[in-house]
Chains A and B, each alone.
Chain A
Amino acid sequence: MVSIISASVCGAAHKLKGQECQDSFAAEQFGDVTLIAVADGHGSESCPHSRAGADLAVEVFVRVMRKYFALYSREPDTLRDYLQREGSRAVARAIEHDWKQRVSQKSSDIAAYGTTLLGLVLTPMFYFAYRLGDGDLIEVSQNSSQEIVRGNKQLGVATYSLCHPNASDYVLTKVGESKANTAYIVATDGFANSYPDEDGFNRTCLDYCAAIREHGANTVNANLPDWLEETSREGSGDDITVIIANL
């Protein structure tokens, strides 16, 4: 069974300004499947409902992926092939469509709900990673930490978003083999932005997973909120959400 460790904290900078956390996350397990999603609402003045947008985004990811598993419940190989072929097309469009439909039930101002979305599906055979906008999807083995999907990150404070008219055009996905003794980290960008460089961040991912091996998932899970509070306070000041799926 995959163990899930997760926490989400309001950014130190947001606390100073009296703002709420704009991150949201979901983690669900059914059978031998694990579904994880994190979303980072933009929080800018033009996106006043981005927390609600982030909540909807993670719900939609889980719901859409559950539908695919229901459709292909007896054919995991076929599902893997489908996700490989259609992940960044039909699947991305389904997520965008579902999210926008749910937002439109609340308001016609879709941009007011702007958010990123990162998702990960883990099965004993394969993983499916989905990225729209900033944040990190990391695969951590005993000795190495590497990004699963990279390529559409934006510099500075700009990001791709579900609220864009053609959001699914900017989605990147990857299907890979699930590996034993490996952890998968999905995090909003406040986590990586709290470290001086990529090396520092990768070392940190390795250290977090070493802590799980040494102290156990429950102990790390109990400590994680304090660690992330410290990380935001001494680092980016941004909201931080981290989910670790440990195989």
Chain B
Amino acid sequence: MTDLKELKRPGGELASRPLHFIWMVDCSGSMLDDKIGTVNYAIQATIPEMLDAATNNPFAKLLVRTLSFSSGAQWVTPAPVSIEDFVWSDLSADGVTDMGHALKLLRAALDIPPMSDRALPPVIVLLSDGRPTDDYKPELEKLLAMPWGKKAVRIAIAIGQDADLNVLEEFTGKSELVLEAMNRDALVKMIKWASTAASMVSAPAVAGSDSPVTTLDMEAVKNLSAARSIGSTSTADVW
């Protein structure tokens, strides 16, 4: 720096961009036993891998939360928690499928504030084995009309044959982002894949272009075909 004085950087505290990841889990009575047990096991098992992925991307602050719904809905994790501090609390199943309640809580969390307009697109993974028992449509429409609702990467995992694929596709906006898990192995694999979505929130997409703005690597979605076949061809333990 020639002979000019070396100065300390002016300005305030620096921060990596927040990246919110939300597990939104159907805990209705039909999820009892094997399904909710598999969800608990599989999400717990993803934590070390999500931690590794976060370590490899120090420029995004990965914040995780869990939202459960059955008869009503509630944040299991009241506030976003850094993946380093995230602890999975086992969920239990009982009651009906108040998805509309859950979408209302989700909307409040995606508002600006509390969300920052400098955040990376949030990732929301919805897991459900049935169809909503409440009037979910108005809440879903409001969610999809709000800025972060539109920009969020929305993935759904349909658990078993009774899951309402139409509702889940309404949520994701893309049929490719509705993953069908017909048995335990497939569900574990789908949850594992969905947990990696945070690392796929990637480089700039062009807004206002003729093609829809996507922040998710759709190639990675297509590569799910192998995982899909596990769920669809196995004859054992089909839910």
B10, A211: Cβ atoms closer than 8 Å: yes
Kindly identify which residue among B2, B10, B12 contacts A195, using a CB–CB cutoff of 8 Å.
B12
Chain B positions within 8 Å of A180 at CB level: none
User: Assuming A47-B204, A196-B12, what are 15 further A-B pairs, CB within 8 angstroms?
Assistant: A13-B59, A156-B119, A157-B205, A159-B207, A160-B208, A165-B209, A170-B208, A193-B118, A196-B116, A197-B116, A215-B5, A222-B4, A223-B9, A236-B17, A236-B59
The closest CB in chain B to the CB of A45 belongs to: B203
The closest CB in chain A to the CB of B204 belongs to: A42
Give complex CA distance A218, B141 in Å. 54
Are A203 and B12 CB-contacts (below 8 A) given A156-B121, A197-B116, A223-B7?
yes
Give complex CA distance A200, B2 in Å. 31
Are A236 and B16 CB-contacts (below 8 A) given A42-B206, A44-B203, A45-B203?
yes
Are A157 and B202 CB-contacts (below 8 A) given A194-B15, A231-B14, A236-B17?
yes
Give complex CA distance A165, B205 in Å. 15
Residues of B in contact with A, size category: 35 or more
A222, B2: Cβ atoms closer than 8 Å: yes
Chain B positions within 8 Å of A111 at CB level: 206, 209
A42, B59: Cβ atoms closer than 8 Å: no
Which of A154, A164, A200: most chain B Cβ within 10 A?
A154
A158 contacts chain B at the CB level, 8 A cutoff: yes
A219, B5: Cβ atoms closer than 8 Å: yes
Chain B positions within 8 Å of A119 at CB level: none
A71 contacts chain B at the CB level, 8 A cutoff: no
| B-contact bits for A211-247, CB 8 A (1 contact / 0 none) | 1000100111011001100110011111000000000
Give complex CA distance A220, B7 in Å. 8
B118, A192: Cβ atoms closer than 8 Å: yes
Chain A positions within 8 Å of B118 at CB level: 192-193, 195-197
Chain A positions within 8 Å of B215 at CB level: 156-158
Task: Please name 12 pairs of A and B residues whose Cβ atoms are closer than 8 Å in the assembled complex, sorted by A.
Answer: A43-B203, A44-B205, A155-B121, A157-B215, A158-B204, A160-B207, A195-B118, A207-B11, A210-B10, A227-B11, A234-B16, A235-B16
DSSP majority for the B interface?
loop
Tell me the count of chain A residues lying within 8 A, CB to CB, of chain B.
54
A87 contacts chain B at the CB level, 8 A cutoff: no
Give complex CA distance A133, B116 in Å. 19
Give complex CA distance A222, B9 in Å. 12
A208 contacts chain B at the CB level, 8 A cutoff: yes
A223, B13: Cβ atoms closer than 8 Å: no
Chain A stretch 91-120: residues in CB contact (< 8 A) with chain B: 111, 114
